């Protein structure tokens, strides 16, 4: 896992746990505690976490969410976004998830118009608003501070009234046990999206492979396709990541690398 990818995941794990230990982070990331310690030191240097004995606590400011992660691995996420958009047919009805990667998917979808897109994120909606050939629906709900994502019971209720050709889903972690997210609220929205879509396409950088986030979303077969980056085929991946790739294959989840 490249350092920016690992920092991204580590920051989200700490932010959503409030306080995280070295041992728990190492287990969830599939790396050594020494690696986690170096990453936490770097995140503290950037003002994103506070180091404590045996772990770290979150720095509770909204600026440490989406905005802090948006520039990390931007080129990689752009490639994933373009590759994912190629699997969306013009004329489709699309549910587009929240996250830094889905912003790049939204930009690439402009070339696939006409589309009807329901956005679960204010940053995603801003990319698509007032663009030719895009019919945009912003799904209601509570806006999460620092993330601009929409979640909560209102979001789930609105989703239950809609149907989609494809759900482009971001994800926090992928293991043989399934897809997982960092918060219960995000997991609940993704579960609702999966129920309402004919097919699901997951977008995630390879750093999510082998990572176990807090809240389980679904079994691997709930989504038929994963679009990730080329480092997913790197033989130096952690054992947990390699086990996850094998599990995806066993679950007949198509993996495309960009």
pLDDT digits (tens, 9 = 90+) for 70-100: 555 667 889 999 999 999 999 999 999 998 8
**8 A C-beta contact, residue 128 and residue 135:** no
Within the chain, all domains assigned CATH 3.40.50.1360 are found at: 74-257
Helix, strand or coil, per DSSP, at residue 60: coil
Beta-carbon contacts of 205 under 8 Å, excluding residues fewer than 6 positions away, are 5, 8, 73, 76, 77, 80, 101, 228, 229, 231
Gap between the Cα atoms of 174 and 102, Å rounded: 17
Domain 74-257 CATH (choose: 3.50.50.60, 3.90.1560.10, 1.10.10.10, 3.40.50.1360): 3.40.50.1360
- Residue 115, pLDDT > 80, answer yes
Gap between the Cα atoms of 15 and 191, Å rounded: 22
How many H helices and E strands in the chain? Answer: 10, 15
Angle at 253 between CA 153 and CA 94, to 5 degrees: 45
User: Which residue shows structure tokens 């930009």?
Assistant: 107
| CATH 1.10.10.10 describes domain 3-68 | yes
Give mean pLDDT, residues 236-248.
Answer: 87
Angle at 159 between CA 108 and CA 194, to 5 degrees: 70
Six-digit token string for 28:
């969830």
Band of residue 239 on the pLDDT scale cut at 50, 70, 90:
confident
Gap between the Cα atoms of 147 and 214, Å rounded: 17
Band of residue 65 on the pLDDT scale cut at 50, 70, 90:
low
Six-digit token string for 120:
């679960």
- Residue 227, pLDDT > 50, answer yes
CB atoms within 10 A of CB 46: 12
Gap between the Cα atoms of 103 and 79, Å rounded: 12
User: Which range has the worst mean pLDDT, 28-37, 61-70, 102-111?
Assistant: 61-70
Within the chain, all domains assigned CATH 1.10.10.10 are found at: 3-68
> In the prediction, which pLDDT does 59 show?
81
User: Which residue, 246, 225, 228, is CA-closest to 176?
Assistant: 246
Gap between the Cα atoms of 138 and 122, Å rounded: 8
Band of residue 64 on the pLDDT scale cut at 50, 70, 90:
very low
This prediction's pTM:
0.78
The backbone region for 137, taken as left when phi is positive above 0, alpha when psi lies in -120 to 50, beta otherwise, is beta
Helix ranges restricted to H, 86-183: 100-109, 122-128, 153-159
- Residue 67, pLDDT > 60, answer no
> In the prediction, which pLDDT does 63 show?
46
Higher pLDDT, 47 or 50: 50
> In the prediction, which pLDDT does 71 show?
55
Q: Which of the residue ranges 18-22, 24-28, 72-76, 110-114 has the most confident prediction, judged by mean pLDDT?
A: 110-114
> In the prediction, which pLDDT does 214 show?
85
- Residue 61, pLDDT > 60, answer no
User: Which range has the worst mean pLDDT, 67-81, 160-174, 195-209?
Assistant: 67-81
Six-digit token string for 89:
């047919």
The helix or strand, by DSSP H or E, that contains position 186, with its residue range, turns out to be helix 184-196
Distance of CA 114 to the CA centre of its chain: 25
């Amino acid at each position: 896992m490249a350092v920016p990818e690992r920092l991204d995941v580590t920051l989200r794990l700490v932010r959503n746990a409030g306080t995280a230990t070295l041992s728990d982070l190492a287990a969830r990331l599939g790396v050594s505690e020494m690696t986690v310690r170096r990453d936490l030191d770097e995140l503290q240097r950037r003002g994103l976490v506070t180091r404590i004995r045996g772990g770290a606590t979150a720095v509770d400011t909204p600026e440490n969410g989406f905005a802090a992660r948006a520039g990390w691995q931007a080129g990689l996420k752009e490639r994933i976004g373009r590759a994912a958009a190629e699997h969306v047919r013009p004329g489709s009805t699309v549910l587009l998830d929240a996250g830094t990667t889905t912003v790049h998917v939204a930009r690439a979808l402009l070339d696939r118009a006409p589309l009807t897109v329901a956005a679960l994120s204010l940053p995603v909606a801003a990319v698509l608003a007032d663009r030719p050939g895009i019919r945009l629906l912003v799904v209601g709900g509570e806006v999460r501070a620092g993330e601009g994502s929409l979640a909560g019971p209102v979001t789930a209720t609105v989703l239950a009234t809609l149907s989609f050709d494809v759900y482009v889903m971001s994800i926090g972690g992928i293991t043989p046990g399934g897809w997982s997210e960092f918060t219960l609220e995000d997991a609940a929205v993704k579960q609702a999206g999966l129920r309402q879509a004919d097919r699901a396409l997951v977008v995630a950088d390879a750093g999510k492979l082998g990572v176990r986030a807090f809240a389980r979303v679904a079994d691997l077969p709930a989504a038929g396709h994963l679009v990730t980056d080329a480092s997913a085929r790197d033989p130096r991946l952690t054992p947990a990541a390699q086990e996850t790739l094998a599990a995806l294959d066993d679950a007949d989840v198509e993996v495309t690398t960009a």
